[in-house]
Amino acid sequence: MAAVAAAASIAGMPPSARARPGPPGVTVTVVPLVADDDALARAEAVLTPGELARARRGTPAVHRRRVLLRAALRTALATELGTDPRSVPLTAGAAGRPELPAATHLDAGCSAAGDLGLVAVGRGSRVGVDLEPVAPWTPDVAEEGWLHPTELQAIAALPPGERPVAATRAWTRKEAVLKARGTGLRDDPATVLTAVGRTGATVAGWTLHDVPVPDGWVASLAVAPDEEIPR
């Protein structure tokens, strides 16, 4: 079967996802999480029993989202590894963070919001990504405590029409950093102070990128070189 191995660099492309140009060493893919029964069954076919069990624990909508997102993540990693999605040595860390063997020099992150998902693959870098639908800006949000006073002031200084996107942007940046660290909400999002109204900033060693996604969503990516991972 030597010839099969030689052709192993040809990998499957998901039917409904597109890689977007990202920072060097990182590929970000936008994944519509919409599928009919057949497509869902095909996505389930590339998941491990553990992943399927986790998906199955969720409600129907969560189930579908987890299956499609995980399949998309596997497919994106398969492209990098020149293998098929089912063979990707993907595991989950303690807080659910995707993990890959160090020898692959790959790191992965993903996020889903409604019918849209995002998959990030870092080569030689550690990544975190977050996608959120733009939520209305209300005084209640300000009270939730995840925005730093500086951020609150900066958002309040914006024209009202720009506040929802700015607040959602701040959230996605915080989440991207927390997910890149692997701590998730075990770290308080307010401790990640983001630069409202600026792009390309750095937070505690993580370089932040705005990921282009359809109107109505906001997504951010946090990246740091693998050799020196700030936490």
Residues 55-84 that bind other proteins (CB under 8 A): 56-65, 75, 78, 83-84
Q: What is the Cα–Cα distance from 184 to 178, expressed in whole angstroms?
A: 5
Q: Which residue has the tokens 């006073």?
A: 149
| DSSP β-bridge partners for residue 131 | 219
Q: Where are the beta strands (DSSP E) in 18-115?
A: 18-21, 26-32, 91-92, 98-99, 106-113
Residue 103 engages other proteins in binding (rule: CB under 8 A):
no
Residue 86 engages other proteins in binding (rule: CB under 8 A):
yes
DSSP code of residue 156: H
Give the shortest CB-164-to-other proteins separation in angstroms.
12
Closer residue to other proteins, CB minimum distance, 101 or 144: 144
Which residues 193-222 are close enough to bind other proteins by CB under 8 A?
193-196, 201-205, 213-217
Which of 99, 114, 162, 225 forms a contact with other proteins (CB under 8 A)? 114
Which residues 11-30 are close enough to bind other proteins by CB under 8 A?
11-18, 20, 30
Q: What is the Cα–Cα distance from 110 to 34, expressed in whole angstroms?
A: 16
Of 20, 48, 46, 214, nearest to 115 by C-alpha is 214
Residue 94 engages other proteins in binding (rule: CB under 8 A):
no
| Three-state DSSP state, 218 | strand
Which residues 117-156 are close enough to bind other proteins by CB under 8 A?
132, 135, 140, 143-146, 148-151, 153-154, 156
